[in-house]
Structure formats: structure tokens, C-alpha cells
Chain A
Amino acid sequence: MSILELRILPPLAIARLGAAPHPMDNYDVELHPEDPLGYRRLRPAKTFQVDTDRGTITRAFVPKTLRFTENGKVRPVAPFLEVWALTSPGRLEPLTKGLLASHGLSPADVRWRFHVANHKVYRRTGQEKDKVDAKIGPFSDHKLHPVLGECPNFWAGKRIPMGFVQYVNPTDAFAEIRLRFTPAHGYVYGASQTAPPLEKPEGEDYVDIVYNASPGNGTWLGYGDQNVPTITVPGFIYAQEDNGASKGYLDDGCDGLVYAELTVEGKVLSAYGRVGAGPPAYAPDSFPVRTVADELDQAMLGPQVRDEEATLALTEEIVRRAAETIRLLNTSVMNGNPIGGRPRVASTMVAQDTNDTGRRFEPIMAPSLVDNLAVLNLHQNIITALRSGTAAWFADVLRDWDEIGDLTSKGRRKMPAMMRGADGRYLALTRRQIDLIRKVAKRGIFSADEPGSGALAASDTQEEPS
């Protein structure tokens, strides 16, 4: 058995910011067997305890309870990225200490590189010197490596801490080759026109001043989006003064790539995966109706599902996610209903229709129909119908991907309703999601399809005796 190629899995891992000292424990999300229409249940799951001094996993345990915070700080979500080996054209398996040894190699032969960046300021100013990059490696040790964002326009010696990476030293008990990325604390950083004081700022929005906005240097402090087509959409999405000038704030979020390399029988094999660090998932038992996974599925597999892939279970999962979204949404307000006798009480899609296009301001649905509990009940009824084998009758009310500009009364009522899509107009599902639902809808009223599991733990891996 040879090692033909490497992979890093997951190919895209999401870290979540937080300043608590201990990373978030592992958990599963599953349907509550006694309340399949209710909230998904969070159950503690096998968690690795890493001794960061030694760089090893000291134990795997299932925590008794789940806590997302610790002493007023959020526990960061710190993903592991595993190296897998293609050992034959039909076999992909974890790269382990044992597999390395069988090729005369050791864990020290694995070389890692890590490159993440925060280019938010650069995206606005267009100045190369505003790019914040953190590069580490190559390294093969098991130390905790700080991820430090450097930028030509930072004051001398100033960097933004973006977390840590550590190559976990494999042991007999935990033999897989893996790296852990622990993201940053989720802090805000500031800018100044004069050299910052030595002591840390107090009573400010930021924890440190890093950005040099003195004359002839960075322009982020006081920057303002111009009315040109190159700005972000939406524009002006940065901390700003009343006059619209940028406060010069940066954050410690990032995205980037992690590389692994190994020389096998004189041949250099390499692989890369991706990471990102963003805000916490604040409703961990709920999932968005349209996700990055849906985007990747469509980009990978195309806008149409095969007939055999179109199941009631997958349809139910989409409806469940829609229910989880509207359940946490004040649908009366988002519908544009007058509240307390006042119209336009909040920023809503209804208001955006008028602001962006000049469309007449009027609620989307009949105001009496859209209380949160009524809308939730409607979605739960659909889930119930799907679980009983009823076809997806609601396919006809889905907004098609090319109907995003339809702001007629009927067009605005299509599903998903009241939400904004990536083009700024009403959200449509991916074409692949829509095709899935339509294929299921075309079947007989009662098919023998299985109901959804509601679990988010499925990986299509197989276990075999080791």
C-alpha cells in the first residue's frame, strides 16, 4: 500500500472567535425523538482535550453539560484539520503514525504551512500596504504557534493576534495526523495619526492601536466609500463617525489556507485545506435556510439533483431550516406591519424595496396572517406533511432563482419571504435546492420515502476493523 496523494479534511473548516481560555466542547445536533417539530437537541459529544504545552491529545471525553461561555467570554470554536492519504485509487484513509511508519516515515516528516489574512481594509482602500497577513512555517514541531497578522501600514512592532495553530503530536491512542486552529479573541483594533502610547488603551472600543494613519501612511482612518461601482455591496459597512468617515477599526477575523507536505519515496506530496474565523453561531440548534454547504454542493454537483437523490428527507431538512429561521424572526415587523400605529418601524426588506427601487411601501403579506407563531405553525404543518409522506406541495410558491427582481405583490410573497439574498433582493434558494423540492413535488402524494433524521453529524465515512 503506497501513499499516492494527500488530502486535508475538512476542506473548509470554520473557526469561531472567542476569548475564553478553553475551546468549545464538541456536541451533536439532532432531532428530539419526542418533539420532532421542536428545537433540535444539543448533545455533548466526544471531545479532545489537548495539552497545548506538550502538543498532544491527553484524553477523549464526553462533557456532562454544554456551556458556550466561560466567565463572560465566549468559548472559541477551534477546528481540527486532518491529513488523509490516498492509498489506492479507491481508498482514502486517515494518515496516521502507523501509516507513516510503514513507509519509513515519522510524524516529524510532515511539514505544515499556514497562511491566513484579513484584507478588509485593503478591499476598501485598494492599498496593498493595507493587507494584513499571517504566515507560519514550514514547521513540523508540536509547539503552539501564534498567528500574528502583520501589515506594512501598522505601527512598528504592532500586530493583530489571530489565534494559534498547533500540529497535534500523534500518539498510539490518537494516531491521526491533525492540526488545530484556535482562532482569535474577537477584539477590535484601532488606528491613530500619532504614535500610540506604550500602555494599552482603556475605555476605548479597541484593545490596541495598530494602524498607522500618520501623514504619508495608511488612509483607513477617515476613509469614506465613494459613489463608484467598485465599492463593496452594500457600501459603507464599517465603523464610522456621524459624517461617514471610517473610525479606522480592524478586527481579528480571517480566512486562508493550510498546507501539508510529505516526501514519500522521493516524491513530494502536498495538499491544502481552507479555514475561516468568524463570529459564533449564536443559535447553535438552528441552521440557516441557505448555507455555504448549499453553495458548495451546487458548484460541485450542478444545479440539478439526480432523481434518486431527491428525497423527502432532504426536502424536510430545507423546510426545517426555514422554520428555524422564521422562528427567530419577528415576522410581523419584517412583513412591514405597522407597530404601535407607526409604519416603517425598522429596517426590513419592505423598506429596502422602497429605498432601492422606489417601489411603493406596503406589507408583503396580509398583516393579520404573519404573527411569528402562526408562520411557525405553517412550517411545522409542512414538516408534518412531509414526514407523513405527502409530496412537497409548496414547490409552486418557491421563488425561482431568476425571479429576484419580481417585486409585484405576488412575487414578494414567494418563499423564502422577508429575507435578503446575496444580490440584495429577495432571497431565492440555490437552483439545486429548488430542483430537489420540485422533483419531490412531482411524485405521488404519498411516497415511501424516509423522514429526515434532523441530525447534523453525517459524514459518509465507513469504518472497518483496524
Chain B
Amino acid sequence: MKRIDPKNLSAQLHYRAAGNPPSTLPESAISNCFPGLEFDFRNLWHHLFEGIELHEADNYVVGGEGELQGLVGHRLVRVAGQATMKQAIGPQMPGGRSDVLTSASNPGGAWTMEWSNSMANVLHQRAGQKVPCEFTKDKAPLPVWVSDDPENPEDPKVETEIRELTLRPIFAQSKVLQDRLAVIEERIAGAGELTESLCSPWQNDYRECACYYWAASRPDYVNVEPNEQGLSEGNMWLAVHREPKEYIPDNGRDTRLLTYEDLFRDWQGKLKFIVGGKDSD
């Protein structure tokens, strides 16, 4: 008979039930969700703080309860002193020096970091506790830049206010063992919430989102072999025909690639499984 040490949460988290192929495991699902394939796992962080709802991909407050309703439209800029965003820095001109990359829609050049990494430490140390959350004092429809250091003289002066909010545990609790379970807490994400921000329909994403996302799940370059120069030669996965063997860059218009309509109507007949790098069925 099988058994698991109840305290071994990893074993439960990664448990593969009898009869289940590996593609049923979280190990097979991508997590660089922008927005994702199986899930938009960014939605795990919507309800991280009791009383407010965060945008899954931004530090923008989209919902609030009771007196916290007033925070809707504000931005959560620091949690326990940790800034929730980073500035984009790079050159704008050939040979130019790197500088903050700003635009009219992002005057501070601020990018909200994914919650999974930016909240990892505070979640690990303070789940279930109140933590200081620093919000912009005013509503902020555009991204706002602040650093980890409130005293940083280079930071623009953004007025903020601090609220102590409870950091909700991600995992459910065992009443018997007084320990965590391996299942995501019900209040963290209700039915439909882990997929709600994916494409509708998902088939649209197979054209919409290009190859720099999820090549191990949605392949890009297949049937690859070295050519006479020793360079790679292969097909674009979405190519209608496999001969001639050439990579057709997806410029959004090339009729040699599957169209949105092809995918909506017959993705199962058109798309190929790729095993050993080659077309397979």
C-alpha cells in the first residue's frame, strides 16, 4: 500500500496519481504567464492581502472591502519596505548610454515585478501576519516609480500612505496537524480565477503570442537538422506545409502559416505533436 508522510508537502504537491500522464502535473505547465497556457498563474496573487484585490500583473488595486474600498485605483508601491517595481534601463540611441526608458504612458519607466518573485520572501516569513503596505496617496492610473529606499534622493516625490494588511496564506490549513496542506487555499482563487485572464478563445493565443514565451509547450522551430553549412534548418511549427524545409517568420500576414480561422476550426487536425523534435501524431 502507498503512503506519504503527511508533513512531506513536496511529495503531495508533486504527487502523480496512478494512471495519470506527466502532462497532468504542474511540472508540465508553463509559469511565465503573459498570460499563460494552462493557467494564468499570476491570478494566485490577486487576493494576497486581506481586504484588497490586486491586478494580477500590476501593482494597481482593483478592488477593496469596507474602508479599504478607498484604495481602489491606488498603487501598492512597497510591501515591508520592498518595492514592487523596477525601472527599465537601456540605450535609446545607437552607441548611446543607458538611461531610464520612459514614455508618455510610463513617465517613471516603472515595471511592476511579477508577484511570485517580489513577494516570495515576505510570503515565506510573514504569511498570516499583518505587514506594512505602502500605497500611493492618490489614485495613479499610470505606473509610478519608487525604489526600495524611501530616502533615495533620485526618487520622484510620490506621496504615500501605509496600511497594515494581513498577508493571506497561499495554502489551505490542516485542522488536525495545524500545518499547511498542499492545496491552494479556496479564498486565494475561486473557480475560474486561475484561467480568467487567458486568451478567449485560447486558440487565439497560438497565433497571437509568438515564440518567445513557451517553446517547450508550444513549439516554434521543428524538424531541425544541420544544413550543409552546419547551421540549423527546420520548419516553423505553424507552417501549413513542411516542404520546402524553411523557417517562415511570423509577420502576422504570411499565408504559408496557419491562420486564426484554421486554429478556431480545426486546431486538432492542423497542429502537430512534436516528439524527438519531429512531427508526430
- Stretch in B83-91, B129-137, B156-164 touching the partner: B83-91
Once the chains are docked, how many angstroms separate the CA of A256 from the CA of B183?
Answer: 12
User: A80 is contacted by which of B17, B23, B56 (Cβ under 8 Å)?
Assistant: B17
Q: Report B-chain residues with C-beta under 8 Å of the C-beta of A408.
A: 89-91, 98
User: A407 is contacted by which of B88, B175, B200 (Cβ under 8 Å)?
Assistant: B88
CB–CB A325/B89 < 8 A = no
CB–CB A278/B211 < 8 A = no
**Contact A420-B34, Cβ < 8 Å, known A89-B177, A328-B274:** yes
Interface string of A262-300 (1 = CB under 8 A from B): 000000000111101011111111111111111111111
Q: List residues of B (168-211) whose CB comes within 8 Å of A's CBs.
A: 170-172, 174-177, 180-184, 186, 190-206, 208-211
Once the chains are docked, how many angstroms separate the CA of A286 from the CA of B264?
Answer: 25
Q: List residues of A (225-261) whose CB comes within 8 Å of B's CBs.
A: 228-230, 232-234, 237-239, 249-251, 253-257
Interface string of A83-122 (1 = CB under 8 A from B): 0101001111110000000000000000000011111111
Once the chains are docked, how many angstroms separate the CA of A29 from the CA of B20?
Answer: 12
Once the chains are docked, how many angstroms separate the CA of A328 from the CA of B214?
Answer: 9
Once the chains are docked, how many angstroms separate the CA of A86 from the CA of B186?
Answer: 20
Q: List residues of A (25-80) whose CB comes within 8 Å of B's CBs.
A: 25-29, 38-39, 42, 45-48, 60, 67-69, 72-74, 77, 79-80
User: B39 is contacted by which of A93, A132, A276, A289 (Cβ under 8 Å)?
Assistant: A276
CB–CB B113/A359 < 8 A = no
Interface size class of B (residues with CB under 8 A): 35 or more
CB–CB A345/B273 < 8 A = no
- A271 to nearest B CB, angstroms? 8
Q: Does A329 contact B (CB under 8 A)?
A: yes
CB–CB B268/A19 < 8 A = yes
Query: Which residue in chain A gives the minimum CB-CB distance to B274?
Result: A283
Query: Which residue in chain A gives the minimum CB-CB distance to B103?
Result: A358
CB–CB A206/B264 < 8 A = yes
**Contact A302-B86, Cβ < 8 Å, known A68-B280, A239-B204, A360-B96:** no
Q: List residues of B (42-93) whose CB comes within 8 Å of A's CBs.
A: 42, 44, 55-58, 60, 62, 86-93
CB–CB B175/A81 < 8 A = no
Q: Does A133 contact B (CB under 8 A)?
A: yes
Q: Report B-chain residues with C-beta under 8 Å of the C-beta of A353.
A: 90
Q: Report B-chain residues with C-beta under 8 Å of the C-beta of A430.
A: 116-117, 120
Q: Report B-chain residues with C-beta under 8 Å of the C-beta of A89.
A: 6, 176-177
Query: Which residue in chain B gives the minimum CB-CB distance to A421?
Result: B32
User: A298 is contacted by which of B120, B175, B214 (Cβ under 8 Å)?
Assistant: B120
User: B2 is contacted by which of A94, A301, A428 (Cβ under 8 Å)?
Assistant: A94
User: B273 is contacted by which of A12, A82, A284, A421 (Cβ under 8 Å)?
Assistant: A284
CB–CB B196/A295 < 8 A = no
Query: Which residue in chain A gives the minimum CB-CB distance to B201?
Result: A251
Q: Report B-chain residues with C-beta under 8 Å of the C-beta of A176.
A: 18
Given A12-B183, A298-B116, 13 more contacts at CB 8 Å? A10-B12, A24-B21, A253-B195, A253-B201, A255-B193, A288-B32, A299-B116, A299-B170, A299-B171, A303-B117, A330-B236, A357-B88, A372-B232
28 CB < 8 A contacts A-B = A7-B12, A26-B19, A27-B22, A80-B18, A81-B17, A131-B192, A237-B198, A238-B200, A251-B201, A253-B202, A255-B192, A282-B273, A283-B273, A283-B275, A288-B28, A288-B29, A291-B27, A292-B29, A293-B25, A297-B10, A299-B123, A339-B249, A360-B96, A401-B113, A409-B91, A420-B32, A423-B113, A430-B120
